[in-house]
Chain A
Amino acid sequence: MSDPDYAPLPVSPDTDHSEENERYHTFVNLALALSAVTGIELVLVYLPLNSIFITTVLIALSVFKFIAVIAWFMHLIYDKLLLTLVFGAGLAIATGTVIALMLVMSRSYVDFDAITAF
């Protein structure tokens, strides 16, 4: 009698796994790319370059990592467009909120002395 713990799940014999096998190589390449980008970020902050340039590059690299994980690891490019729209709507509201708050809550708009007076 076979051990049920180690029996493979019932899969149709005509199931095509070539797509999953292709994705495996994509996942390996992506994991390597993400590790490399994290290493670049780490080195970048110690380089004696213009701070605006470094900040811009760091944001760009973060966005790349963010999109790469969503697109491939989370299968968004393989899934229906509706899922992208659903998540994109939440992400757009979140990004808009962050940008709006960062702009509004700056020293030039906030009466800083009035706040600290309390």
Chain B
Amino acid sequence: MSDTASASHDEHHNLIVDNKKLLMWLFLGSDCMFFGTLISTHLIYRKLYPEAYDPLTVFSLELTSFSTFILLMSSFLMALAVSAMHKGQIKSFRRNVIGVIFFGLIFLACQVYEFAHFVHEGLTLSTTTFGSTFFVMTGTHGVHVAIGIFWLICMYFYSHTGKMDVHESAVDVEVAGLYWHFVDIVWIIIFTAVYLIEYI
């Protein structure tokens, strides 16, 4: 690499960490606050109005556990995709990303099925405080998952253009991976705080 190209490369990376990664971690920190308020709002209304709705009449722990398992495994595949990209193994990267997209779509399908079931049982966004906070919180998470899937689909097709550079693309994939893992950790909290806690 020439000196000019090297200097240009350094302009986009400060000396401590990559700027893209730093920005993503900053975004994830702020998203923590966003989901923190959504989850606490749900828990507070659940505590203030315990008689508003009995979620055990509609919850299916088997389905939610399956969704959780699927999301955890998608995180595993995402970690493998990032690792493959660092090693420059484009075929392995594509295989793993397809797996992540597939698992993400299964998770979304489970959520759509769950929402449809709840609405069929009479629980909507406007019927009770439980419905309002539950749909807003899990719906926001679902939107995050959908954005992540769209991002990964774009990345998959971009990998076929032949324009991928091993350093830049590895960072881009890692940033997308951070976002995907964050979606997973938010669900880990929702699974315990919203679903499992109701069964105790």
Neighbour of A94 across the interface among B36, B87, B162, CB < 8 A:
B36
Nearest B residue to A42 by beta-carbon distance? B65
Task: From the candidates B21, B48, B79, name the one contacting A79 in the complex (CB within 8 A).
Answer: B21
Q: Decide: B192 and A62 in contact? CB cutoff 8 A.
A: yes
Please, which residues of chain A bring their CB within 8 A of the CB of B197? 55, 58
Instruction: Contact check, B44 vs A9: say whether CB atoms are below 8 A apart.
Output: no
Interface centre among A38, A73, A107 (most CB of B within 10 A): A73
Are B17's CB and A31's CB within 8 A?
A: no
The yes or no answer to B154 lying at the interface (CB within 8 A) is no
Q: Complex: how many Å from CA A34 to CA B61?
A: 17
Q: Cα distance A31–B182 when bound, in Å?
A: 16
B39 contacts across to A, CB distance below 8 A? 98
Contact pick for B35, options A6, A34, A94, A101, CB 8 Å: A94
> In the bound complex, do residue A59 and residue B192 qualify as a contact, i.e. CB atoms below 8 Å apart?
yes
How many residues on chain B are close to A (CB under 8 Å)? Answer: 63
Q: Which A residues lie within 8 Å of B164 (CB)?
A: 9
Given contacts A38-B68, A46-B199, A102-B43, contact A74 B178 (CB under 8 A): yes
A24 touches B83 (CB 8 A): yes
- Residue contact B32 to A9, C-beta cutoff 8 Å: no
- CB pair A9–B37 under 8 Å, yes or no, is no
In which size bucket is the chain A interface?
35 or more
Beta-carbon contacts of A80-94 to B below 8 Å, as 1s and 0s? Answer: 101100111111011
The answer for the CA separation of A20 and B88 in the assembled complex, in Å, is: 11
Given A73-B78, A79-B17, A97-B40, decide whether A9 and B83 contact each other with a Cβ distance below 8 A: no
Q: Which residue of B lies closest to A93 (CB)?
A: B33
For B90, the chain A residues whose CB sits under 8 A away are 6-9
| Whole-angstrom distance between the Cβ of A46 and the nearest chain B Cβ | 7
- The answer to the question of B16 belonging to the interface, with a C-beta cut-off of 8 Å to chain A, is yes
Q: Complex: how many Å from CA A59 to CA B105?
A: 28
B58 at the binding interface (Cβ < 8 Å): no
Q: How many Å lie between the Cα of A106 and that of B50 in the bound state?
A: 12
Contacts of B87 in A (CB 8 A): 11, 15, 17, 20
Query: Does B196 sit at the interface, judged by CB under 8 A?
Result: yes
**Residues of chain A having any CB pair with chain B under 8 Å:** 4-11, 15, 17, 20, 23-24, 27-28, 30-31, 34-35, 38, 41-42, 45-46, 51, 54-55, 58-59, 61-62, 65-66, 69-70, 72-75, 79-80, 82-83, 86-91, 93-95, 97-98, 101-102, 105-107, 110, 112
> Would you list 14 pairs from A and B whose C-beta atoms are within 8 A, ordered by A residue?
A8-B88, A9-B165, A20-B83, A27-B76, A46-B199, A51-B200, A58-B192, A58-B200, A79-B17, A86-B29, A89-B29, A90-B33, A91-B29, A98-B37
Q: Given contact pairs A86-B29, A90-B32, enumerate 20 new A-B contacts (beta carbons under 8 Å).
A: A7-B162, A9-B88, A41-B196, A46-B199, A51-B200, A61-B192, A62-B191, A74-B177, A79-B21, A80-B17, A82-B17, A86-B25, A86-B26, A97-B33, A98-B36, A98-B37, A101-B37, A102-B43, A106-B47, A107-B48
